[in-house]
């Protein structure tokens, strides 16, 4: 499996493939790969001749220095896992911070028509400027035909779609369904850092989302939100940061239901010092 650390070498390798008429898929990741990532990689392999998996813990999207420091870095294990999927059709781009940012490790400032101010944007200062900066650079360096993002970070997916629309980037952004463990917990690289007790407790998050969805037919958003808040107040191990039912397109909190719109519930929860997010489509 080819592993590139340098964007110039990656570009010249990919340019040769493109000249041969081959299609390129990109799966951007921060490493610590799990089955959820492999779902994206497999989807990319179905539609593209070559798939670039980028592995880069992007410093500019972390609002919490400790979280950045503790973020797992497991390149060797990531490559081993990717090899179980395909040795020939996948290449890894694992750049250094310098290769991506040069001497200036800073985000560009973006406007995503308000999407960036909701939920994760409100709770994680500068997060989406960091995501926008790295995704734009990865798309520029790889120039893929398709790029794959998981719906677990649904707000990020909507923002990336907005980014390529606003910047007229010639790439199709493909959203992939959330991959869940058997007990319902959404797959995340952060799950590996949960204590056994918190890992068990974290299954509560998806249970609550499913019950909230059932209630959506008959109850108001306010009523459901209050019910969710109560459930977490009673929980000894989990702390709710937010639960928001929002319009799927604008990501603005739902005030009055409209039959023409679709809604999703979004949640962020602390299990000890690990922050977990999840979401579910309501209609």
- Strand locations in 107-251, DSSP E? 146-150, 172-176, 238-247
Name the residue with tokens 């023409």.
260
Structure tokens at 9: 């070498």
Structure tokens at 154: 């649904």
Q: Minimum distance from CB of 95 to ligand PAF (Å)?
A: 11
Q: Minimum distance from CB of 59 to ligand PAF (Å)?
A: 10
Size of the site for ligand PAF (CB under 6 A): 10
Q: What is the DSSP letter of 60?
A: G
Residue 28 in contact with ligand PAF, rule: CB under 6 A:
yes
Q: In the beta sheet, which residues pair with residue 165?
A: none
Q: Minimum distance from CB of 19 to ligand PAF (Å)?
A: 28
Q: Does the annotation count 146 as an active-site position? A: no
The residue within the footprint of ligand PAF, chosen from 10, 24, 26, 30 (CB under 6 A), is: 30
Binders in 202-261 for ligand PAF, by CB under 6 A: none
**Is there a contact between 151 and 157 (Cβ–Cβ < 8 Å)?**
yes
Residue 118 in contact with ligand PAF, rule: CB under 6 A:
no
- The piece of 24-32, 44-52, 139-147, 166-174 that touches ligand PAF (CB under 6 A) is 24-32
The residue within the footprint of ligand PAF, chosen from 48, 58, 107, 155 (CB under 6 A), is: 58
Please state, in angstroms and rounded to a whole number, the distance separating the CA atoms of residues 277 and 119.
11
- First-to-last alpha carbon distance for the chain, in angstroms, is 42
Q: Minimum distance from CB of 182 to ligand PAF (Å)?
A: 23
- The piece of 22-30, 85-93, 112-120, 217-225 that touches ligand PAF (CB under 6 A) is 22-30
Structure tokens at 126: 């500068």
**Is there a contact between 247 and 254 (Cβ–Cβ < 8 Å)?**
yes
DSSP 263-283: EEEEEEEEETTEEEEEEEE--
The residue within the footprint of ligand PAF, chosen from 38, 51, 115, 131 (CB under 6 A), is: 131
Residue 153 in contact with ligand PAF, rule: CB under 6 A:
yes
Q: Minimum distance from CB of 28 to ligand PAF (Å)?
A: 4
Closest listed residue to residue 247, CA positions, set 47, 65, 113, 85: 113
Q: Which of 37, 146, 179, 198 is catalytic?
A: 37
The residue within the footprint of ligand PAF, chosen from 29, 107, 133, 141 (CB under 6 A), is: 29
- Closer residue to ligand PAF (CB): 145 or 153: 153
Please state, in angstroms and rounded to a whole number, the distance separating the CA atoms of residues 95 and 109.
22
Residue ranges that bind ligand PAF, judged by CB under 6 A: 28-30, 58, 61, 131, 134-135, 153, 156
Q: Which residues participate in catalysis according to the annotation?
A: 37
């Amino acid at each position: 499996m080819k592993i590139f650390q340098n964007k110039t070498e990656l570009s010249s390798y990919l340019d040769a493939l493109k000249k041969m008429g081959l299609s390129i898929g990109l799966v951007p990741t921060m490493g610590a790969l799990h089955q959820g990532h492999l779902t994206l990689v497999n989807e990319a392999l179905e539609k593209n001749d070559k798939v670039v998996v980028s592995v880069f813990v992007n410093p500019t999207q972390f609002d919490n220095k400790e979280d950045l420091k503790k973020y797992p870095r497991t390149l060797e294990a990531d490559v081993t896992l990717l090899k179980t999927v395909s040795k020939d059709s996948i290449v890894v781009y694992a750049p250094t911070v310098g290769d991506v940012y040069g001497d200036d490790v800073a985000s560009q400032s973006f406007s995503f028509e308000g999407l960036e101010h909701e939920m994760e944007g409100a709770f994680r200062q500068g997060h989406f400027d960091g995501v926008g900066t790295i995704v734009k650079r990865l798309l520029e360096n790889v120039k893929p035909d398709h790029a794959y993002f998981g719906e677990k970070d649904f707000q990020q997916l909507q923002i990336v779609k907005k980014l390529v629309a606003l910047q007229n980037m010639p790439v199709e952004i493909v959203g992939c369904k959330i991959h869940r463990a058997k007990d319902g917990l959404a797959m995340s690289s952060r799950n590996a850092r949960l204590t056994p007790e918190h890992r068990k407790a974290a299954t509560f998050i998806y249970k609550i989302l499913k019950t909230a969805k059932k209630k959506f037919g008959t109850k108001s958003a306010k009523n459901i939100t209050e019910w969710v808040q109560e459930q977490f107040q009673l929980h000894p191990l989990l702390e709710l940061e937010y639960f928001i039912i929002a319009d799927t397109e604008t990501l603005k909190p739902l005030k009055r239901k409209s039959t023409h719109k679709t809604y999703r519930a979004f949640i962020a929860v602390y299990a000890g010092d690990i922050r977990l997010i999840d979401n579910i489509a309501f209609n």
